Structure formats: C-alpha cells, structure tokens
Amino acid sequence: MFFSSLVSPQWLREHLDDPDLVIADCRFDLADPEAGRRVYEAGHIPGAVYLDLERDLSGPVQEHGGRHPLPDEETLAETMGRAGIDERKKVVAYDDQGEAMAARLWWLLRYMGHDRVAILDGGFSGWVHHGYPVSQEGVTPKLTRFVPRVQSEMKVDMDEVKRHSGLLVDAREPDRYQGIREPIDQKAGHIPGAVNRFWKENLAEGQHWKSPAELKKEWDFLREEEQPILYCGSGVTACANLFALHLAGVKGGRLYPGSWSDWISYPENPIETGERSAAALRPK
C-alpha cells in the first residue's frame, strides 16, 4: 500500500484493517499527565495502541538530560515490540495537540532505524470531524521483536551544542524563547545564538500541516548544508520542527533531546534573552 510521512484521515480509514499497520495514539497533556490515557479510554481510533509520552516515549528524569530524556535504546525497542511494531509494520501516529507528541514518536522510530512511520494530518479531532468510527475497546497488540538500527547522527548532546558554530533553532513560544515568561522550567531565556521558530507556525487551520512548498519557503532561512540543531523545552516540540523540515525536503536537522531543560541544569551554561526571529534570516 502507498505510504507517505503524512496521511489523511481518509487514507487511514481506507487502510484501518491492514494487518501490517500499527496505529499509535500519543495524546498527552503536560499539565495533566493522566489525561492522555483517560481520553484514549473514552474513545480512540479503532485498533490504536496508546503510547504515553512520559512512560513510553521518555526515560527516567535525572539531574541532567531534561524533563523528557530519551529512553535507552533497549528499553525503547522493548516498548515498540510490546506495541506490535517491528520492521515489517507501518506506523501512523496521532495526538490532539497539534501532532507534537506524534512527532516525538515519528522521530524516535526514525532514530531507531524505522522510517515507515507517518503522522495523521489533523490528529484525532480531524478523524472525528470526518465522522469516522471511534472505539472504547481495549487493544492487546501481538508481541513482536523490534530490532533497533540506531541512527546516532540524528541527535547531539550538550557538549556538541556548545561546539556548534551553525544555527540553533528554538521551537518554543516566542515569549518563552525571549525570556518574558517561563511557566515550566526554572530559568527563562534561550541558548545563546539561537533563533526562534515556534513549532505551531508549521500548522494551518485545524491542526493540518502546511504544504511542503509553504514549509520550504518558510524555512528558507536555513542555508544549504547548515545541519542546524533544533531544540525546545524538553525535546518534544522540536520534533514537530524536524517533521516540518522533513515535509519540506530539507535535510540535516539534528535534535538536542535534553533541550532547554537540560541546558539550564548546568549552572555554568550562559543564557540569552530577547528576540531573534528566524524570519529575519530569510533571504531578501
């Protein structure tokens, strides 16, 4: 069956019963970590498994590594296997938070060497909007073995961020990036030299992704062979920016998984405030 990185509700409805397809519900609320599981149980796309951002798609929080550190590869492989995902399966991820949580799974699977993964355009609300079926039935995936082929070049650590002479792109809301307010982390501001590209700028109305042409134009502040480092508060919404680059056909973006919450866990790291929009870097 045809498979791309972004699929429509119509496409998913037509392929709902395909045996080689795994649907992953990634809904999650940072302010209420149990809300995702509750809304999943209240109604989900038929056959979808639930993957929790903090229990399944993140590792244990420690002194360093940020609020949502990457799980170790062995643990993540076991999680994917329990979800019924192996090298033969295609995966469609969705959430209802603008696809940021789904983008986290999209990035993690690609990092683990599994690129047959897509995001549902419009998320769960888009599915419901079309009047497609919703289920409350529990799902027990068939246990399988996920064999990782880790793509280590897709991520960087804090030391590499310090050495990086290219562009850093911060995915957070402009007022958090600028240091005007910080409702989550202990310090406000951004990594020195970073520009701001709020991840929701990649979306059109209704949680739909902008077209590849639109995204390519909006990301044209990146120079060829730039290999920018992308980050956010904890390595989640930066994945939405990486997905936007993927849709636009722009290669080379790398994730700083610990992101701002890791950066500020080192007291000696410098902090910058104020505005430096990515739009200002666009060619005139």
Determine which one of 120, 232, 242, 255 is catalytic: 232
**Cα separations in angstroms, 27 against 138, 211, 237, 279:** 16, 24, 13, 30
* Long-range CB contacts for residues 245-249, cutoff 8 Å, separation at least 24: 245/215, 245/219, 246/5, 247/5, 247/6, 247/209, 247/212, 247/215, 248/212, 248/215, 248/216, 248/219, 249/212, 249/216
Which distant-in-sequence residues (6+ apart) come within 8 Å of 131 by Cβ? none
Q: What does the alpha-carbon distance between residue 149 and residue 28 come to, in Å, rounded to a whole number? A: 27
Torsions phi, psi of 90, nearest 5?
A: -100, 145
Is residue 232 flagged as an active site residue? yes
Phi-psi region of 21 (alpha: psi -120 to 50; beta: other; left: phi over 0): beta
| 3-state DSSP assignment of residue 206 | helix
Single-letter amino acid, residue 34: E
Q: Where are the beta strands (DSSP E) in 156-284?
A: 168-170, 195-196, 229-231, 254-255
- Cβ atoms of residues 45 and 12 within 8 Å: yes
Hey, which residues are catalytic here? 232
